[in-house]
């Protein structure tokens, strides 16, 4: 599902955030990308959803060689992914249900099908009672569940989550991890970037360690 | 299509203070531009009256033969700066003077027999040659049979200056309006760059994001200019109650301001998108 070959990333001329990263994640795996702040976790994820282009090396995701992908193909590639951000990034002018429906709406799917899928993920993330609330009116845990529901609504092949429990207490963090685990059991590949070692130890999944922009384990 | 309009009006509704302020900016700019057009229309009307009055008068010697007069008339008509020529006979000159001094008619009593006023040609110039009045007057003075000439030096210079000033002020205000309206609408799009990023990351195509934002700019520009002109019309009517009737902009200029507002909104909506959609 994910292949990175000799990937280096430099910002400006001399600030190297990733150095010769090689990484392989098989389809259906659940993997943690672990490292302290500044280790390069977010850069890896941004390279995987092609918000950044590597200075060197190749990235292949879900069968797309991202070095060769054209701008017009990019939206269709991203529809195969579900992205979860640490700061949720919900659209402030849309309700919870509208936020969750958004990735389906942009694909031009029929309204009835959108409604069915939204109801399914709202129920799955226990947000049915918050469907008409705006992001600013719900708690941090609910916002994160809404962003996971949005990532999941399109049945993506791959979930990329960047510090999804960064702002949450341990109880809620575990609840969020259980949601990722359920997705993984349904066949979705999951890559979670985190610095929370205790959470990683409790989940007992494969871990790729990143330190100073280099892979040190995994 | 329904999605596009729903998205456009949702964007406007949630664009908050900046969105509201950008419409206010368009309203004020449309009012300012409309007022400028009204002033320009008024001055233009007054200038036309000035332009229509003869600018050069060639006074003829007394006792000139008809054939000599014909020759002078042909010479005047042959000048490229001349638009029209009118012959004023001695009798016409006296009649005109009587009309001018109608309240003091006694001054002109007894002049019928010894009319001292000369016959003349009143010469109207083409608008583009308004500043050539002096040159034409000198040429006419050199013609045999012409006693003297008079020309409205001040009028021609004044008309020219006013027209140049109007074009200058209009250009500066027009440019300022374009920049102000464009920047305020651009700002509405720019503060939503994070939203645009999210849209891109969940797989929205460039067109899906672009069209509602462009329409938002068009609607802001259109609404702003319509409201601006409506407020200006209301103010003009209030003013007319004090000072008497005043004429508003003709339909062609109303259409120009409204279309201009919508077009600027379109351009302003498009400008920041090029960079924001590169993600």
Give how far A203 is from chain B: nearest CA, Å: 27
Complex-level ipTM beyond the 0.85 threshold: no
pLDDT at residue A107 greater than cutoff 80: no
Q: Do B203 and A49 touch (CB under 8 A)?
A: no
pTM of this structure: 0.66
- Confirm or reject contact between B70 and chain A (CB < 8 A): no
> Given A51, A103, A105, which is nearest B279 (Cβ)?
A51
Lowest mean pLDDT among A87-91, B54-58, B109-113, B224-228: B109-113
Select the highest-mean-pLDDT range: A100-114, A131-145, B260-274.
Answer: A131-145
Above pLDDT 90, what percent of chain A? 40
**pLDDT tens digits, residue range B93-104?**
888 888 877 777
Q: Compute the average pLDDT of residues A25-46.
A: 91
- Residue A71: which pLDDT band, with cuts at 50, 70 and 90? confident
Spatial distance between the Cα atoms of A143 and B141, rounded to a whole number of angstroms = 92
**Cβ atoms of residues A144 and A90 within 8 Å:** no
What six digits make up the tokens of B21?
């302020």
- CA distance readout (Å), A201 to A67, A100, B160: 35, 31, 87
- Residue A36: which pLDDT band, with cuts at 50, 70 and 90? confident
Q: In the block, which residue shows the tokens 């069209």?
A: B211
Going by C-beta distance under 8 Å and a sequence separation of 6 or more, which residues neighbour residue B232? B30, B31, B34, B35, B38, B248
- Residue B230: which pLDDT band, with cuts at 50, 70 and 90? very high
User: So what's the pLDDT on residue A191?
Assistant: 95
pLDDT at residue B279 greater than cutoff 60: no
pLDDT at residue B54 greater than cutoff 60: no
User: So what's the pLDDT on residue B50?
Assistant: 66
Chosen for mutation from A46, A70, A82, A91 (greatest number of chain B CBs closer than 10 Å) is: A91
Strand, helix or coil for residue A8? strand
User: So what's the pLDDT on residue B51?
Assistant: 63
User: So what's the pLDDT on residue B14?
Assistant: 66
Spatial distance between the Cα atoms of B55 and B134, rounded to a whole number of angstroms = 9
A to B CB pairs, distance under 8 Å:
46
**Cβ atoms of residues B146 and B60 within 8 Å:** yes
Residue among B136, B118, B138 nearest B55 (CA): B136
Spatial distance between the Cα atoms of B27 and B233, rounded to a whole number of angstroms = 13
Chain A hits for B204, CB-CB cut-off 8 Å, are 75, 106
What six digits make up the tokens of A150?
């949005």
Above pLDDT 90, what percent of chain B? 7
- Confirm or reject contact between B108 and chain A (CB < 8 A): no
User: So what's the pLDDT on residue A130?
Assistant: 93
Going by C-beta distance under 8 Å and a sequence separation of 6 or more, which residues neighbour residue A176? A141, A144, A145, A148, A164, A165, A168
**Cβ atoms of residues B180 and B29 within 8 Å:** yes
- Confirm or reject contact between B208 and chain A (CB < 8 A): yes
pLDDT at residue B58 greater than cutoff 80: yes
User: So what's the pLDDT on residue A48?
Assistant: 95
Chain A hits for B7, CB-CB cut-off 8 Å, are none
CA atoms within 13 A on the CB side of A140: 12
Using a CB cutoff of 8 Å and minimum separation of 24, what contacts does B107-113 make? none
pLDDT at residue B12 greater than cutoff 90: no
**Cα torsion through A109, A110, A114, A117, rounded to 10:** -90
What six digits make up the tokens of B159?
């008309």
User: So what's the pLDDT on residue A45?
Assistant: 94
**Cβ atoms of residues A120 and A78 within 8 Å:** no
pLDDT at residue B1 greater than cutoff 80: no
User: So what's the pLDDT on residue B153?
Assistant: 67
pLDDT at residue B204 greater than cutoff 90: no
Nearest CA in chain B to A93: B14
User: So what's the pLDDT on residue B274?
Assistant: 63
Spatial distance between the Cα atoms of B31 and A84, rounded to a whole number of angstroms = 47
**pLDDT tens digits, residue range A187-202?**
999 999 998 888 888 8
Above pLDDT 70, what percent of chain A? 99
Spatial distance between the Cα atoms of A161 and B81, rounded to a whole number of angstroms = 80
pLDDT at residue B267 greater than cutoff 70: yes
**Cβ atoms of residues B93 and B118 within 8 Å:** yes
Other C-beta atoms lying within 10 Å of the C-beta of residue A192: 28
Spatial distance between the Cα atoms of B34 and B22, rounded to a whole number of angstroms = 18
Lowest mean pLDDT among A90-94, B72-76, B272-276: B272-276
Above pLDDT 70, what percent of chain B? 88
What six digits make up the tokens of B131?
């500043």
**Cβ atoms of residues A25 and A160 within 8 Å:** no
**Cβ atoms of residues B115 and B122 within 8 Å:** no
At CA B195, angle to CA B190 and CA B201, rounded to 5?
125
* Cross-sheet strand order for the sheet of A189-194: A81-84, A158-162, A189-194, A30-34, A206-211, A214-217
Nearest CA in chain A to B13: A93
Chosen for mutation from B11, B15, B18, B203 (greatest number of chain A CBs closer than 10 Å) is: B203
Q: What is the largest CA-CA distance in chain B?
A: 100
CA B224 to chain centroid, in Å, comes to: 22
**Cβ atoms of residues A26 and A199 within 8 Å:** no
pLDDT at residue A47 greater than cutoff 60: yes
Chain B hits for A83, CB-CB cut-off 8 Å, are 201-202
Q: In the block, which residue shows the tokens 């008339």?
A: B73
Residue among A100, A212, A74 nearest A152 (CA): A100
């Amino acid at each position: 599902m994910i292949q990175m070959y000799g990937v280096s990333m430099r910002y400006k001329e001399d600030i190297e955030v990733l150095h010769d990263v090689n990484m392989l994640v098989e389809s259906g795996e659940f993997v943690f990308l672990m490292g302290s702040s500044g280790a390069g976790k977010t850069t890896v994820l941004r390279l995987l959803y092609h918000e950044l282009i590597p200075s060197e090396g190749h990235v292949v995701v879900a069968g797309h060689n991202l070095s060769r992908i054209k701008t017009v193909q990019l939206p269709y590639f991203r529809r195969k992914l579900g992205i979860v951000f640490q700061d949720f990034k919900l659209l402030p002018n849309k309700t919870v249900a509208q936020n969750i429906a958004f990735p389906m709406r942009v694909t031009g799917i029929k309204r009835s099908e959108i409604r069915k899928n939204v109801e399914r993920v709202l129920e799955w993330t226990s947000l049915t009672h918050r469907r008409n609330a705006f992001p600013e009116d719900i708690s941090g845990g609910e916002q994160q569940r809404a962003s996971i529901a949005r990532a999941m609504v399109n049945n993506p092949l791959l979930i990329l989550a960047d510090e999804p429990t960064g702002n949450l207490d341990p109880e809620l963090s575990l609840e969020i991890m259980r949601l990722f685990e359920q997705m993984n059991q349904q066949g979705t590949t999951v890559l979670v970037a985190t610095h929370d070692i205790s959470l990683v130890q409790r989940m007992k999944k494969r871990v790729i360690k990143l330190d100073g922009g280099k892979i040190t384990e995994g | 299509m329904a999605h596009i309009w729903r998205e456009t009006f949702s964007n406007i509704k949630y664009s908050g203070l900046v969105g509201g302020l950008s419409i206010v900016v368009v309203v004020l700019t449309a009012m300012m531009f409309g007022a400028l057009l009204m002033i320009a229309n008024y001055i233009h009307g007054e200038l036309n009256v000035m332009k229509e009055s003869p600018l050069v008068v060639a006074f003829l010697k007394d006792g000139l033969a008809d054939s000599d007069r014909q020759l002078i008339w042909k010479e005047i008509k042959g000048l490229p700066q001349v638009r029209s020529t009118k012959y004023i006979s001695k009798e016409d000159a006296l009649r005109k003077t009587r009309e001018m001094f109608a309240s003091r008619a006694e001054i002109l009593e007894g002049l019928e027999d010894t009319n001292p006023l000369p016959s003349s040609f009143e010469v109207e110039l083409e608008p583009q040659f308004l500043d050539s009045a002096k040159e034409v007057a000198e040429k006419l003075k050199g013609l045999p049979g012409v006693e003297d000439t008079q020309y409205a030096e001040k009028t021609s210079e004044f008309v020219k200056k006013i027209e140049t000033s109007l074009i200058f002020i209009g250009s500066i205000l027009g440019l300022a309006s374009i920049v102000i309206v464009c920047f305020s609408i651009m700002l509405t799009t720019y503060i939503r760059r994070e939203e645009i990023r999210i849209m891109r990351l969940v797989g929205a195509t460039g067109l899906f994001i672009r069209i509602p934002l462009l329409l938002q700019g068009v609607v802001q520009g259109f609404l702003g200019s319509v409201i601006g002109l409506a407020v200006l019309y209301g103010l003009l009517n209030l003013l007319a109650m004090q000072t008497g009737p005043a004429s508003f902009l003709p339909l062609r200029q109303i259409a120009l301001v409204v279309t201009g507002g919508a077009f600027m909104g379109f351009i302003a909506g498009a400008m920041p998108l090029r960079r924001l959609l590169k993600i």
